[in-house]
Amino acid sequence: MNKKIDYEYFEEKLRKEREEVIKEIKILEPKVEGNPIEEGEETTPFPTHIADIADVESRLNRDSYLITQLTWKLKDIDAALRKIVEKTYGICEDCDNGIRRERLEAIPYAKYCKSCADKREKVGWREEEL
Ligand SMILES: [Zn+2]
């Protein structure tokens, strides 16, 4: 058990982070789905130069990549909020040890303790970047 964890504090933190993520997704989604050009943007709806087209495309790719990242993050946040309810928040999913508070401050939705995350990183898996 991780008795030192202040559940309320982290729940608040996670909820705020969740709102931010949803906000970001809402901003990015219309750009990716359907109309790539947002109102008020300076880019012309029909780029005439190859460079412009490439630019719009790379922007769209970046946006959809960001959405994917944000969606993962949202899932992790939801999972963390569930753990708060179940009182298992702050416990590493791999080794069952408590995750250090500093780590939770930086990544409140962290699933693993630092050493387990490092181990996973070595095999090509990494915790969400900050
Ligand atoms: Zn661990």
1 within a domain of the structure (yes/no): no
* Model pLDDT, residue 121: 83
Residue span of the structural domain in which 12 resides: 7-122
For residues 100 and 121, which has the higher predicted lDDT (pLDDT)?
100
Can you give the pTM of this predicted structure? 0.74
Q: Which of 114, 78, 108, 76 is nearest to 7 (CA)?
A: 108
User: Which tokens go with 1?
Assistant: 């058990």
2 alpha carbon to ligand 1 midpoint, in Å?
13
8 alpha carbon to ligand 1 midpoint, in Å?
23
What is the number of structural domains in the chain? 1
130 within a domain of the structure (yes/no): no
127 within a domain of the structure (yes/no): no
80 within a domain of the structure (yes/no): yes
Confidence of residue 66 (pLDDT cuts 50, 70, 90): very high
103 alpha carbon to ligand 1 midpoint, in Å?
12
As a whole number, mean pLDDT of residues 29-57 equals 67
CATH code of the domain containing 42: 1.20.120.910
122 alpha carbon to ligand 1 midpoint, in Å?
14
11 within a domain of the structure (yes/no): yes
19 alpha carbon to ligand 1 midpoint, in Å?
28
pLDDT at residue 32 is higher than 80: no
For residues 35 and 62, which has the higher predicted lDDT (pLDDT)?
62
Q: Which of 123, 92, 97, 94 is nearest to 110 (CA)?
A: 92
As a whole number, mean pLDDT of residues 70-76 equals 96
Classify burial at 79, counting beta carbons within 10 Å of its beta carbon; exposed 0-12, middle 13-18, buried 19 or more: middle
128 within a domain of the structure (yes/no): no
pLDDT at residue 3 is higher than 80: no
As a whole number, mean pLDDT of residues 62-87 equals 95
Give the tens place of pLDDT for each residue, 56-65.
Answer: 888 888 899 9
117 alpha carbon to ligand 1 midpoint, in Å?
7
